[in-house]
Amino acid sequence: MKPNPLLRSCALLLLLACGRAGAAEICDLPPRFGLSAAAIAITRTACNEHRAWHQPFIDTQGRIASLSLTEAERGALDYEGPPAWSRVAAYWRESGLLDSLGDRPGARSCMAPDGSRWSEVDCRAFLIDTPWSAAFVSWVMTRAGVAGFPSSARHLDYIRAAFRAQDGAPYVFSDPENSKPEPGDLLCMLRGRDDVIGYAGLSAALSSTGAVGWPSHCDIVIAANVGGDRTLYLIGGNVFNTVMMRKLPLDRSGRLVLPKPLATGNGSEDGTGIAVDCSPARESQCDLNRRDWAALLKLRPGALLVVPPPRALPTITPSPTTTPMPPGFPRVVPPRPVQQPQPVPVPVRPTNGQDP
């Protein structure tokens, strides 16, 4: 049977379309149908920042596949934006958290940089020494306008708020092994520990009356199982000193595939830490995705956005009908024109005694 050229052309076009779809960036895809307004606002805000940082990411194997600018560099962000360090300072200021850290060295220089070399160096030192991953999440929620989100310089504060699940709270605490992550959710890990706590241990600690001060980190869920790719996409701040995307595997049902976590010890403050046993001879112990993912904060379907205040209408001042005179200048009013009376025609009488 001779092949139909029309069918061949259609098949080729279909393959090309599939190839283009496979190469599409996750953040460039339209929002999934049915997402709430809050979820769309959160994911768009996080995606815009990730683009600005030149899209670094950790792949599903837990390896850093791309890394460009970091927190204290002078290099400009994408879209001809500000220097990287200046953007991190904006996360602190615009989230409203910088005032709470005003006693730390360099914080005041980040509040209102005067453009001097001294204030820039002082502010950049503060950004290097102060973990900003929670400030990034708080900034995203503030910029997206999520109502009721408790902005904090510590992830554990809004993890605790989700655990209490008070009325009006935008997030609720759930088990990452049993709940499906969706755009707008927050996936949180415990770090800097030699032991694994997990969901059960974190829940027990939050239920007790004692204060919990464990180091933690949360990433924002951007997309999940797009086109059935069994991949979870997240974006977090201060992950290796940048705004990083992370890809985690999902099973067929859309739930996380969580391998056994690796102990990170008293590691760095970059939001992930390095596994204790990671070395060139033990690459299997260097997977950056094998972490103690202990909580999934689910965005409530009814989460509200802050209504921006109504913009005041511009005040229109009517223009004066007459040109104002300078101060002290005598006002001269021209006389009104006098209308002349119109002549009234006078009838002419006939003469010589003739009747008209």
Q: 225: pLDDT confidence band, cut at 50, 70 and 90?
A: very high
From the CB of residue 48, how many other CB atoms can be counted at a distance below 10 Å? 14
Q: 343: pLDDT confidence band, cut at 50, 70 and 90?
A: low
CB-based contacts of 189, cutoff 8 Å, min separation 6: 216, 217, 218, 272, 291, 292, 293, 294
Domain ranges for the chain: 42-299
In percent, how much of the chain has pLDDT > 70? 74
Query: Is the separation of the CB atoms in 265 and 240 below 8 Å?
Result: no
**Nearest in space to 69 (alpha carbons), one of 84, 82, 81:** 84
With a cut of 50, say whether residue 5 has pLDDT above it: no
The amino acid that residue 64 corresponds to is I
pLDDT at 332: 54
Start-end of H helices in the chain:
5-22, 37-52, 84-94, 107-111, 117-129, 133-144, 155-164, 198-207
* Measured distance CA(296)–CA(173) in Å, rounded: 6
Strands 171-174, 57-58: pairing is unpaired
pLDDT at 117: 85
pLDDT at 246: 97
- The mean pLDDT of the chain is 82
Longest dimension (CA), the chain: 148
* Measured distance CA(238)–CA(242) in Å, rounded: 5
Where is pLDDT greater, at 118 or 124?
A: 124
With a cut of 90, say whether residue 154 has pLDDT above it: yes
Q: What is the DSSP letter of 337?
A: P
CB-based contacts of 28, cutoff 8 Å, min separation 6: none
The amino acid that residue 316 corresponds to is I
Question: Phi and psi (nearest 5°) for 69?
Answer: -80, 155
For tokens 């965005």, what's the residue? 299
pLDDT at 12: 39
Kindly state the tokens that stand for 146.
């999520």
pLDDT at 273: 58
| Residue 250: its H or E element | none
Burial of 138 (0-12, 13-18, 19+ CB in 10 A): buried
With a cut of 60, say whether residue 11 has pLDDT above it: no
With a cut of 50, say whether residue 19 has pLDDT above it: no
* Measured distance CA(34)–CA(299) in Å, rounded: 14
Average pLDDT of 8-14? Answer: 42
Query: Is the separation of the CB atoms in 274 and 268 below 8 Å?
Result: yes
* Range in 73-87, 147-161, 174-188, 320-334 with the lowest mean pLDDT: 320-334
Average pLDDT of 188-195? Answer: 85
pLDDT at 93: 95
pTM: 0.79
3-state secondary structure of 123: helix
With a cut of 70, say whether residue 320 has pLDDT above it: no
With a cut of 70, say whether residue 244 has pLDDT above it: yes
> Residues in the chain, how many?
356
Average pLDDT of 47-61? Answer: 94
pLDDT at 260: 80
The tens digit of pLDDT for each residue in 291-301 reads: 899 999 999 99
Where is pLDDT greater, at 350 or 260?
A: 260
In percent, how much of the chain has pLDDT > 90? 54
